[in-house]
Structure 1
Amino acid sequence: MLKQLGSTVLTAATGATGKETAFGASAAALGMLATLLGGWDKPLQLLVVLMIADYVTGVLGAIKTKRVNSDVMFWGGIRKITVLFVVGLAHLIDGWVAGESAVFRILAIYFYAGREGLSVFENLGVLGVYIPPKLKEFLVQLKEKGEAKE
């Protein structure tokens, strides 16, 4: 009976098939990542959705303009991982400095969400999606201001 109980517990923990094990490990990894980033709340969801949208629209724009470059795509992915690392650091800083408040984390998320959003709009322009002229003017001005500071 003890052997059967142990077998049942082991099977439940690891999964009966490789797919269950992979799914369980993926869910655990995503849960740990969300915890390190301060929780899976609406601001983080917005940032992740914008990051995915930026990557997908960037790849589609590269395909349209025939400028697909695996090196650029790789470093774009690394940049997104680095952004999540900065959000995680901001969450740690909040724990040290602000206690229960998430001031630095929220600032980091909204800053990067703004950058990702601008990039999505630029990519949509490359894809030929209509962007209202006033919005396009505003984005060009923001881009020029950003380039002037660099």
Structure 2
Amino acid sequence: MFLWLAIVLMISASVSSHEHKLNWVVPPANSSESFNDWASNKRFQVGDTIRFKYKKDSVMQVTKEDYKLCNSSHPRFYSNTGKTRFMFDHSVPYYFISGMSGHCEKGQKMIVEVLSRDKTTTSSAPPAALAVWFCFFSLSLSLVA
């Protein structure tokens, strides 16, 4: 029973999602860092979430074209709760902008590249878990015989 629990925990740990936290504010005028710099230093995968934290603002997911133009008139997703949690459900680029007038033009926008889990998983946990399961199965058979 203990080995079975260990196997389940090892497999679930290998496919767990991550939550990325971000202070969603207008970047200072003299800042050399952008939200795209922040996003490019992370590895986002399908199932991961991003938590936008902000005050008196909003976050919008938009098309690539609307991102380029800072156009907030047709968002795919909109929230102004101050603590927006957004889950990535496809392996595509996601485009985010602020919905407040002028904020996007001042750099409050971001592209997040999301990778598919099955193509990017490099963990050895599933093969190791299968090896443990095989040993457990073999031991069980030997006890029955």
TM-score of the two chains, using structure 1 as the length reference: 0.26
TM-score of the two chains, using structure 2 as the length reference: 0.27
- Larger RCO of the pair (alpha carbons < 8 Å, separation 6+): 2
- Structure (1/2) with the larger helix percentage: 1
